[in-house]
Structure 1
Amino acid sequence: MRINPDLCIGCGSCVPYCPMRAISLKDHAVVNEDECVECGIC
């Protein structure tokens, strides 16, 4: 799954929805591709 950088404001609202805990925040949301199963929930 990819985070759209044009839409991401770095609020972190997507982080708790990831069942694999593959999303982290730096300046914006970052998806760990090794952990992501592309479920589409985010």
Structure 2
Amino acid sequence: IAIILEFFAALITFQQSFTRDWILESSFVIKDFRDRID
């Protein structure tokens, strides 16, 4: 059971860091896109 919990904890941590990176990437892209429109 402990192994499964550790696996889930690692998965959640990975997903959070991945999502945070994705949001940062998206905001940079959107900002760049807006700068080009202006």
Same fold (TM over 0.5): no
TM-score (ref. length: structure 1): 0.16
Pick the structure with more strand per residue: 1
Kindly indicate whether structure 1 or structure 2 has the higher relative contact order, using CA contacts under 8 Å at least 6 residues apart.
Answer: 1
TM-score under structure 2 normalisation? 0.16
Greater C-alpha Rg:
2
